[in-house]
Structure 1
Amino acid sequence: MSTASEARDARHRQRQDEIIAAGRRCFRQSGFHAASMAQLASEAQLSVGQIYRYFVNKDAIIEEMVKRIIDTRLQHIKETATVELPRLLAWRYALDEDDEALMKEVAAEATRNPVVARMMAEADSRMFTQACQNVKRDHPEMSDEQTHACVEVMAVLSEGTAWRRQMPQKASSEHLYPLYQQINALLFKTEDS
């Protein structure tokens, strides 16, 4: 690849990054449904036509944003042991508060936009697959069915916690932690234990 071609590709990626950053700000302010391409263009300091050179429509911007958020989460999942779950839940840790808020916007948009609903399903599938791989890594004795059931419960706990972050916590983390430890122990108990 020539230096000119590499420079052009780098500029293209930089422009996409700028549009995604502007999109994140607009979507957080107005929501996906209400944010217009004109608003996004203004935020990115580009014309609407320039944005269409990089993304075919607003759904493509959302898709790239979701992909980036999920890629970050997948990397975190790969690096986190299942024994960390009780601590993460009890103290309501968020990997990135802004990403959490944007994914809530994606979930809302998915209720009215089948393209975004498909994106959510694909993102969920990627996350579920990686979480299953982690459980198998940490608990190779578990059956596939048991692994899937545990990951489903972990997803409900994690996603529920993400939604609960919007409300003041009603119980102390110190009291929740042992309860989550008990749930974790129950989840990862082998069928013959």
Structure 2
Amino acid sequence: MSKSENDAFVRQRQQIIISAAKICFSRSGFHGASMADISRESGLGAGQIYRYFESKEFIVSETIKSIATSWRVFLQDNLPKQSSTRDIIDAESPFWQDWPYQDRCLLLEMYSEASRNQSVREVLAQEEQLLIADLEKAFSRQYAQVSPQQRNERIQFLLMLVDGVACRAFGDKNLDHHEQGRINGILTHHLFG
């Protein structure tokens, strides 16, 4: 096997393990899921897993990086397309269709872990910086007439909004759509007025 084939095989195995870990972590949390759970879910023996990851902590770390990157890419792709906050607030709207419930659970677990783990906070901060830079570029093209401060305020507001909605366990089915429209009008006027 050539070096490039071997590298591809290693990456494939690592991805299998991370995918299995995501399932286990979404069910039991980063600290509740065991290596035996990950082994069972991946179909790989514990010895095989340790060939690709030196410890469970390393699997947690790589899983967090994967979740954070996926979250950034999801937001990069979807936030610039939103002209209204209504779809963001409604957890059942088309805005959220490409962000599965399992990933929402993992995101909540990741934010919880960040509250006690400096390295997780650093991963999240790095991904957020990349996201803000990308959103600034997209919004500069989309809202060229708006000041950089107003664009930054919109970005910060949207990030707080999506984080809040993503972290809710259940959506509020009794949302007042008239009130949502009124709030959206105020925000649009304030941020782009």
Normalising by structure 1, we get a TM-score of 0.79
Matched with 2:52 is: 54
Instruction: State the secondary structure of the residue aligned to 2:116.
Output: coil
Displacement, 1:24? 0.7
The C-alpha deviation readout for 1:147-168, integer Å capped at 9, x for no partner, is: 2222111111111122335243
Displacement, 1:14? 1.5
Residues 78 and 89 of structure 1, relative CA distance in 2, 3 Å threshold: closer
Q: Is the 8 A contact 1:82 1:134 kept in 2?
A: no
Establish whether residue 115 from structure 1 lines up as the match of residue 114 from structure 2. Answer: no
Displacement, 1:187? 4.7
The C-alpha deviation readout for 1:92-120, integer Å capped at 9, x for no partner, is: 24222221110101111222222223222
RMSD: 2.6
**Matches for 1:71-82 after TM superposition, within 5 Å:** 71-80=69-78, 81-82=80-81
Matched with 2:168 is: 164
Residues 176 and 158 of structure 1, relative CA distance in 2, 3 Å threshold: farther
Matched with 2:135 is: 131
Identity of aligned residues (%): 28
Displacement, 1:128? 2.5
Instruction: Give unpaired runs (5+ residues) of structure 1.
Output: none
Distance in 1, matches of 2:45 and 2:180, equals 50
Displacement, 1:180? 4.8
Q: Which range moves more in the overlay, 6-15 or 123-132?
A: 123-132
Matched with 1:186 is: 189
Q: Is the 8 A contact 1:26 1:43 kept in 2?
A: yes
Residues 28 and 58 of structure 1, relative CA distance in 2, 3 Å threshold: same
Residues 132 and 12 of structure 1, relative CA distance in 2, 3 Å threshold: same
Matched with 2:103 is: 99
Q: Is the 8 A contact 2:68 2:123 kept in 1?
A: no
Instruction: Give unpaired runs (5+ residues) of structure 2.
Output: none
Normalising by structure 2, we get a TM-score of 0.79
